[in-house]
Amino acid sequence: MAASSRTFLTYQHDWNAFSLDTPVTAVYLFSELEDLNRQLFPAGNNDDHIVATEHTIFHPQGGGQPSDVGTMTGPAGTKFTVTAVRMDATGQGQVLHLGQFGDGSSPVFTLGETVRQDVDAEKRLLHSRLHTAGHVLGAAVRHLLEEEVEGFDELKASHFPGSASCEFQGLIEGKWKEPIQKRVDQYIADKRQVQVEWWDEAMFREKGLQRLIPDRSLMPGEKFRVVNILGTEVYPCGGTHVDTTDLCGPTRVTKISRKSGKSRVSYAVKN
């Protein structure tokens, strides 16, 4: 696989874009991937291809959010079904779209031709609702328990359908489930605006949020993308979201589990 230019992440600037026309920058067989990148796609096989494009509206799996799926269609009608998307593991900033062309015998895209990307809008919306709901839950837990739970900190989150949860340092007792639910309900009912901002390290420090400064090695010389739920909480985040918290829909805190000094608060949104 030859080196290719970095992919512009259109979805990070407009998460409501479900279609996009963009030139093709690379097409190759799955078997031609470097080992590191091939390992990103455990379900990949020799019938699959990889397509890279100049821009993409496909969110690659990462940050706790599943990848988008959908299609790309060429000017002659050639169709590529996108089944998985990952950011390359070599640090080149290229988004890799895994999938298949037609019935396997169709022609592939040619370099430089413009294709139409279409994401599965229903799945994108579900992923976006879950991701915003996860931030709402994290904010609710922090605001309620930061001073109540010894050693409290937010650790990580998964926003996958059917297994969504936020993990925290410290032991959160079951008695907090109802108060957390009430705070989540409040934030969602308030219809709080969700917006993208781009911060440098000075902005984090100015707002007293040094704890949120991401690893500079991940984005050398660049500003960090943050998602700001106005009046609630700010999170460094590369994912997609809904525009206001009420669009998460009813969000249910399903359980609180504890293990090895950590707590996991699981949640679900109504389909």
Q: Is 90's pLDDT higher than 90? A: no
pLDDT digits (tens, 9 = 90+) for 37-79: 999 999 999 889 999 999 999 999 999 999 999 999 999 999 9
Token pair 């293990």 is found at 259
Tokens of 210: 């040094």
Q: How far apart are CA 55 and CA 77, in angstroms?
A: 20
| Contact indicator for 226, 199 with CB cutoff of 8 Å | yes
- Token pair in block for residue 270: 């109504």
Give the pTM. 0.93
The answer to whether residue 193 scores a pLDDT higher than 60 is yes
Of the pLDDT bands very low, low, confident and very high (cuts 50, 70, 90), residue 201 is confident
In 10 A of CB 220, how many CB atoms? 6
152 burial level (CB within 10 Å; 0-12, 13-18, 19+) = middle
Q: Rounded mean pLDDT of the chain?
A: 93
What's the distance, CA 252 to chain centroid? 21
From residue 46, alpha-carbon distances to 50, 88, 108, 246 in Å are 11, 19, 15, 44
Contacts of 191 (CB under 8 A, 6+ apart): 244, 245, 246
Q: Which residues pair with 120 in a beta bridge?
A: none
Write down all domains in the chain, each with its CATH number in brackets.
8-119 (2.40.30.130), 124-269 (3.30.980.10)
Q: Which residues pair with 198 in a beta bridge?
A: 225
Torsion angles phi and psi, residue 179, rounded to 5: -60, -40
Provide the edge-to-edge strand list for the sheet that holds 224-229: 194-199, 224-229, 233-236
Per residue in 97-143, pLDDT (tens digit) is 999 998 655 678 999 999 999 999 999 999 999 999 999 999 999 99
pLDDT of 199 higher than 70? yes
Query: Could you tell me which residues come within 8 angstroms of residue 105 by beta carbon, excluding any fewer than 6 positions away?
Result: none
Residue 104: burial class (beta carbons within 10 Å; 0-12, 13-18, 19+): exposed
